[in-house]
Amino acid sequence: MERYKNIDPEERAARAEALFRQGYSCAQSVVGAYADLYDIDRRQLLRIAASFGGGIGRMREVCGAACGMFILAGLETGTDDPADRTTKGYNYKVVQELAAEFRDCNGALRCADLLGIRTGKPQSPIPQQRDAAYYANRPCPKVVREAARIVGEYLLNLKEEERDKIKTS
């Protein structure tokens, strides 16, 4: 497909970091960096990703940036046919590969681990104020950037025949 030919993973990574620094969640930032590739309203796509920020609803579970990658993987390789085990399995394979690369690059997949949160106490649902100290004291901009780069490289390297096979399964 032509839409993937000129993807620049580094440019998309910079775009994702810029979105994060504008105040979008980590998941929204990764998804937003690629929204132009899909036939879905950008605002709808950002709303779909909204609940995954902060490690899914600020519960500090799976990193929202990784969740953003998984949302994009679903748009690429997911199925809407509940009986299509082949495509479902392929999608899960892609998600596992993306997760492994994310973990290798960032050291963890869980938001709490990435942030160094060691308490089991519930986190406040209220997002922190975004200011210079916020960005200076957390790995999130780098993590968002890495997630967007990883998914960009995946899209760039996805073989045409593999993509066609997915869409016709």
Each residue's pLDDT tens digit, 117-157: 987 778 889 998 999 999 998 999 999 999 999 999 999 88
**Interval 36-87: pLDDT, tens:** 999 999 999 999 999 999 999 999 999 999 999 999 999 999 999 999 999 9
Looking at residue 122, its pLDDT comes to 81
pLDDT, residue 157, reads 86
Surface-to-core class of residue 18, CB atoms within 10 Å of its CB (0-12 exposed, 13-18 middle, 19+ buried): middle
pLDDT for position 3:
65
Question: pTM above the 0.75 mark?
Answer: yes
Q: Report pLDDT for 158.
A: 79
Q: With helix as H, strand as E and coil as C, how does 135-149 read?
A: HHCCCHHHHHHHHHH
pLDDT digits (tens, 9 = 90+) for 1-37: 556 778 999 999 999 999 999 999 999 999 999 999 9
- Find out whether 111 and 27 touch, Cβ atoms under 8 Å: no
Across the range 89-112, mean pLDDT stands at 97
**Residue 48 near residue 76, CB atoms below 8 Å:** no
